[in-house]
Structure 1
Amino acid sequence: MQTKELHALQDDPSQVYTVFRPSVKALTIAMAAIAGFMSPFGSNIYMPALPQITEKLNITQGQTLLSVTMYMIFQGVAPSFWAPLSDTLGRRPIIISTFLIFLAANLGLSFVNVYWGLLTLRMLQACGAASAIAIGAGVVSDVAPRTQRGRFMSYFQVGALIGPCAGPIVGGLLAKRWEWHSVFFFLSAVNGILLVCFCAILPETLRALVGNGSKRPVGIWKPWINFSLSAQHDDIENHHGKAMTMEIPSHVSLGHMGFHKPWLMFLEPDIALLILSYSLSFMTYSVSSATLSETLASNYDYNMIIIGLCYLPLGVGFATGSLMAGRLVDWEYRRSKEKHGDQLNLFTTRLKYAPFFNSLFCGGYIAVEWCLDKKVHIAAPMVLFFFCMYI
């Protein structure tokens, strides 16, 4: 966990928040976004192939959708385990470890032909991929000060939000050209390439280990490719004239890592209501996206390629909405800071527009589902999907 000194460094405007070079900072955010991209991508690449899986494995549609449900359950629970580990052991080793798990699950799914194997490996796949979103958000907070965090968080979220768009398109093309196993062969290949890239160039950012980036990483925390992370790495010396290096975590106790702390948030009424508000919106989207392929196949008689393309408005809306929201949040923060100074309520500032956008989202989704049920021309629900995701 972060020390008092690190908290002081974050809140003191006279201190340099991070000494990372701008190029390294941009690279770090980009790699966090790519890591966050893989979780929804791995979930949604599967969607267009659901009818084919039902047929090939000789199972019911409900059993097939259960594999989607189990993925989402573990996608939600896994970060509460990995995030405390990343706060103690560092971002880099946990991201690498989770992507190793993700790779193993994808390789297994490439060959599985029984339902119980599909279900088990989908749960393992979610455990490996889902942590990247939570850890990626931690990476953003490590390198971006509060005044810029909304904008940088929006850049990071673009990766996570493009996944629902790109996944079905790629999955539809693969399943149509070959068959559903090809989806996981493709994921294995992409996963393997990303894993090598993370090992080679992803820097450690956890402030409890490397401070504001001025401490040299060592061991597993050091990228394979030796490049200068900051201009200060070659200049900063301690009192003995030696370059400063990070302190390796020692005597790590699982009992003191705080695995229970994420769940304690639900005991705070205001935070619990906030989580409930956003979880209902996400649940609505998840249920709709999971059943969309079957709906389009039955109501519109579309093939897997067209079904995959119909997910495009979701991803485009997600990405553009995230970029605009990030700038809106930073603007509201600066405005409130000038008005209230040290009395600024950060939660009120960040969530000021949430009730308005949530209301528009709910109304838009009701309209989307009505259009799909009444088999209105596909342009109408697709346009509504875009605006719902944009919101």
Structure 2
Amino acid sequence: MASTNTSSSSVPNNPQPEKQFASIVPRDDRLQLEPTISTSHHDMADVSYVVTGDMDEVYNRFSLRRKHVITAVLSFCSFLAPVSSTTVLSAVPEVAATFQTDGSIINLSNAMYMLFMGLSPCFYGPFCNIYGRKWVSVTSAVLFFGFSIGTALAPNLASFFVFRILTAFQGTAFLVIGSSVIGDIFKPTERGTALGWFLSGTLIGPALGPFVGGIIVTFRSWRDIFWLQTALAGTAVLLVCFLLPETIHYKRSEELHGLPRAKKAHKMWQWLNPFRVIALYRYPNLLTVALASSSLVWNMYSLLTPIRYVLNPRFELTSPLQSGLFYIAPGCGYLFGTFFGGRWADHIVKKYIRIRGERVSEDRLRSCLIAMGVVIPACMLVYGWSVEKRVGGIALPVIMMFLQGVAQLFCFPSLNTYCLDVMQGRSAEVVAGNYMVRYMFAAAGSAACLPAVRKIGVGWFSTISALFLVVATIATYITTLYGKEWREAMDAKKVARKEGENRV
């Protein structure tokens, strides 16, 4: 069932979930556990336990210092896959020369990288609900480390593609699990701030990656880019092993205890079935928020991917290092926005709690409307047409890239936290679905931007990106007005359908 509504009916016979949860949550007169039953794909009931009474108690298992350490570890891990998606951009001509191919083919490898970043959450989202956050993180980090070595040693173009794809599939796990961990340990009114810090890694990585790659490829081989990635991945393995505790409130694997092997396999398939994540988009509110996230990621990657091909000729630059310097502007914008975007989202939530007397998940989305619908489109238009018409010098596009970087950190904490809040029993799957859609658009943007810029110019391509953002903002605003009604209507239909099947 969407949102945080609870039901005291249909208590499951299996006592193990309550027993496991009770070991985490202190049992006293103020706290009790109530199961929430909701139907999902294949009409299987989802059982999620929530705390009633003193509801904040479940978020007090870790001290504030420990929460900060966990958030820092997650932010570092979330940096890895996105930075790998763009580090090679400054070295595209050099990689193409090594494998005797064209730069557009290497950019296609980057699009494939993000395509598999989009597919990965369908697997890791449900899996971390079954076995918990920690050991799924450890497994993903180890595999990311191994496949990074493979990329650095790739002897030919085919192996370069394969290892890049395998690395991408592992890296997105950090993004899904990280958001879920934030939801596990922070109260709803605090999550925006925490997610702002966590998401800084996912955004600073793509922006600073080409700058780092530009430095490396100017003085060393492009393969050293991936050796650096390997070293960072090794650090992530150590951090998640020793500093990331298990935070999940309830592992679904508890429901497998005592079941026959065939029944276990049947349940595992239903939980891990990727269509389970895709089926969430029957909810219109989740679809519109995914569209909003996708418009931002499309904008980011279509802005960053062609910089060397667009700005080097415009400003008569000759080296990868010089073009890499342009990536510092959006990177600094993301870092600056980290200090304010999440706090702004939490402020808006608290403001509407005071107005309504209750928390409505859709109110959080109001915090991103101006940044997404006005600031970023304006920056994209000024950036694109100033480069196209050769006006404003270097300063103007740099300032626009910085401002749109700041604005994006006023959007992503709001959108990601909404995914955690709106269906708390299936938050990992909602986040996974959101990342799946957004990285599909990132892949499309990476693949399409350079041919499109060559065909219609950077001005018109930036205009298309700006229009996409405006349309997504309108859809998000409509969600703030009607999202709660949509969720309740979908839940009512599911309950009615289930009751009808039970009568039959």
Give the structure-1-normalised TM-score.
0.84
1:107 equivalenced with 2:121 (yes/no): no
1:314 equivalenced with 2:330 (yes/no): yes
2:183 paired residue among 127, 137, 141: 141
Q: Look up the match of 1:325.
A: 341
Measured after TM superposition, the shift of residue 248 of structure 1 is 10
User: What are the within-5 Å matches in structure 2 for residues 153-192 of structure 1?
Assistant: 153-192=195-234
Q: Look up the match of 1:334.
A: 350
* Cα-to-partner distance string for 1:192-232 (whole Å, 9 max, x where unaligned): 1221222122211111159xxxxxxxxxxxxxxxxxxxxxx
Q: Look up the match of 1:28.
A: 70
Q: How many residues were matched structurally?
A: 354
* Cα-to-partner distance string for 1:60-111 (whole Å, 9 max, x where unaligned): 1221110111111111221121111111111111111111221122111111
User: What are the within-5 Å matches in structure 2 for residues 168-317 of structure 1?
Assistant: 168-209=210-251, 250=257, 251=264, 253-258=267-272, 259-300=274-315, 301-317=317-333
Q: How far apart are the structure 2 equivalents of 1:254 and 1:25?
A: 31
Q: Look up the match of 2:400.
A: 384
Q: How far apart are the structure 1 equivalents of 2:58 and 2:142?
A: 35
Measured after TM superposition, the shift of residue 35 of structure 1 is 0.9
Alpha carbons of structure 1 residues 322 and 4: separation in structure 2 relative to 1, 3 Å: farther
Q: How far apart are the structure 2 equivalents of 1:248 and 1:170?
A: 47
Q: How far apart are the structure 1 equivalents of 2:140 and 2:180?
A: 15
Q: How far apart are the structure 2 equivalents of 1:8 and 1:375?
A: 58
Q: Letter of the aligned partner of 2:218 in structure 1? A: K
Q: Letter of the aligned partner of 2:371 in structure 1? A: F
Q: Give yes or no for contact 2:147–2:164 (8 Å, CA) kept in 1.
A: yes
Q: How far apart are the structure 2 equivalents of 1:323 and 1:314?
A: 15
Measured after TM superposition, the shift of residue 123 of structure 1 is 0.9
Q: How far apart are the structure 2 equivalents of 1:334 and 1:109?
A: 46
Q: How far apart are the structure 2 equivalents of 1:184 and 1:100?
A: 15
Q: How far apart are the structure 2 equivalents of 1:249 and 1:312?
A: 49
* Cα-to-partner distance string for 1:233-284 (whole Å, 9 max, x where unaligned): xxxxxxxxxxxxx969745742232533321232222321221133123112
Q: Which range moves more in the overlay, 93-102 or 297-306? A: 297-306
Q: Give yes or no for contact 1:164–1:314 (8 Å, CA) kept in 2.
A: no
1:61 equivalenced with 2:77 (yes/no): no
Q: How far apart are the structure 2 equivalents of 1:4 and 1:85?
A: 24
Q: How far apart are the structure 1 equivalents of 2:299 and 2:53?
A: 37
Identity of counterpart residues, as a percentage? 22
Alpha carbons of structure 1 residues 94 and 248: separation in structure 2 relative to 1, 3 Å: farther
Give the structure-2-normalised TM-score.
0.66
Q: Letter of the aligned partner of 2:235 in structure 1? A: I
Measured after TM superposition, the shift of residue 127 of structure 1 is 0.5
Q: Look up the match of 2:371.
A: 357
Q: How far apart are the structure 2 equivalents of 1:334 and 1:15?
A: 19
Give the SS at the match of 1:147. coil
Q: Give yes or no for contact 1:281–1:362 (8 Å, CA) kept in 2.
A: no
Give the SS at the match of 2:153. coil
Instruction: Tell me which stretches of 4 or more aligned residues in structure 1 moved more than 6 Å.
Output: 246-249
Q: Which has the larger helix fraction?
A: 2
Q: How far apart are the structure 2 equivalents of 1:12 and 1:325?
A: 29
1:37 equivalenced with 2:79 (yes/no): yes
Gap regions ≥5 residues in structure 1 = 211-245
Q: Give yes or no for contact 1:68–1:290 (8 Å, CA) kept in 2.
A: no
Q: How far apart are the structure 1 equivalents of 2:403 and 2:101?
A: 35
- RMSD across aligned C-alpha pairs, in angstroms? 2.4
